[in-house]
Amino acid sequence: MSKQKMSAGKKKNNAGNSVSVVRQAKHGGILTILFAILSFFWVSPILVVLLNSFKRKAYIFKNPFGLSNVPLSSGFEKWAHGLSKTFVGGLNYANALKKTNFVRCFGYSFFITLISVVLIVVCCSMCAWYITRVQTAGTKLIYLLCMFSMIVPFQMVMFTLSKLANILHLATPMGICIVYLGFGAGLAVFMFTGFVKSIPLEIEEAAMIDGCTPPQTFFRVIIPIMKPTLITIAILDAMWIWNDYLLPSLVLNVNKYKTIPIAVQYLKQSHGQIDWGAMMAVLVLAIVPIVIFYIAAQKYIIEGVMAGAVKG
């Protein structure tokens, strides 16, 4: 009898487990569909920009979400004929490259983004390592100042910053990289500090015993361990700097140095009637590099954030 009861109990448990698995699968499927719909709405503005970058200017506002200026109910032949009239191929992209001097603007944006990200990653990781390992009143003050910089609204300092940048001759691509280092230090130091706290001190002591100097310990031991957080900070700051308009417009000499966001704004202002097709094309060209970079390194974002926040 006891064996029969045990087998019956096992069957009930198995049945209960199978029911819970089915319920989890149903809930998982519903959540998947829900997030797929939300993702579509999130991506839809980019798709609209991409679609309209190939259209004639007259049809961008007339039917921004459609493929043809003729409804499909009028017949396929008329719809296809309207489709050929709506799109102009790569003409908008050719106009965009010509009107904005896109290659030069791309070069400035790439240089500023690359140098700024390298400065933020290297300087802030070293700062976080020093703050964590050297516990003094000075290092605590540095950490508090970095945290304070995260809560100060940019609007409070932007006009003073513009004047100060002119006085210090920072209105150049290299000069603005120093400004980006200052504004990006708060979040970077916070995340790096959280990650360094999770690294056992014994690893560094073993490196010191093997004859490594502090710089060698940092670059040969700490940096490889911090790789997820390094890539996370690099991705977040690269997207911020690449798409930023306000800070370059305040600091840079925009008559001489134009990043892509500034070039888009000048395209809107400098040619009388706005060439919306060319503007859409410039936006697509500006989006492509950062999207490729994000897709290539996206797996490190959650890993780096969790390592810096949870372990810390």
- Do residues 70 and 104 share a domain? no
- Do residues 41 and 95 share a domain? no
Question: Residue 312 pLDDT > 50, yes or no?
Answer: no
What pLDDT digit, counting tens, does each position of 283-293 carry? 888 888 888 88
pLDDT at res. 279 = 85
* CA–CA distance, 285 with 89 (Å, rounded to integer): 15
- Do residues 227 and 304 share a domain? yes
- Do residues 179 and 43 share a domain? no
Average pLDDT over residues 69-97: 73
pLDDT at res. 311 = 47
Question: Residue 5 pLDDT > 60, yes or no?
Answer: no
Average pLDDT over residues 105-131: 94
pLDDT at res. 41 = 83
Joined together, the tokens standing for residue 89 give 């191929």
CB 281 within 8 A of CB 287: no
* Predicted TM-score of the model (pTM): 0.78
* CA–CA distance, 54 with 49 (Å, rounded to integer): 9
Higher-confidence position of 115 and 268 = 115
Joined together, the tokens standing for residue 191 give 């995340």
Question: Residue 121 pLDDT > 90, yes or no?
Answer: yes
Average pLDDT over residues 132-150: 89
What does 198-227 look like in DSSP terms, one character per residue? TS-HHHHHHHHHTT--HHHHIIIIIHHHTH
**Number of domains within the chain:** 2
User: To the nearest whole number, what is the mean pLDDT of the chain?
Assistant: 81
Which of 86, 116, 139 is a domain's end point? 86
Q: CATH number of the domain that 159 lies in?
A: 1.10.3720.10
Which of 36, 61, 86 is a domain's end point? 86
pLDDT at res. 70 = 65
Give the C-alpha distances (Å, rounded to integers) separating 96 from 74, 99, 189, 281.
34, 5, 39, 6
Task: Name the residue among 131, 246, 250, 108 with its Cα closest to residue 188.
Answer: 131
- Span of 40-54, 158-172, 290-304 with lowest mean pLDDT: 290-304
Percent pLDDT > 90 in the chain is 19
What pLDDT digit, counting tens, does each position of 202-236 carry? 888 898 888 888 889 999 999 988 888 898 899 88
For 27, the domain range is 2-86
pLDDT at res. 13 = 54
pLDDT band at 271 (very low <50, low <70, confident <90, very high): low
Angle, to 10 degrees, between the axis of helix 102-133 and the axis of helix 227-243? 140
Task: Name the residue among 159, 146, 252 with its Cα closest to residue 192.
Answer: 146
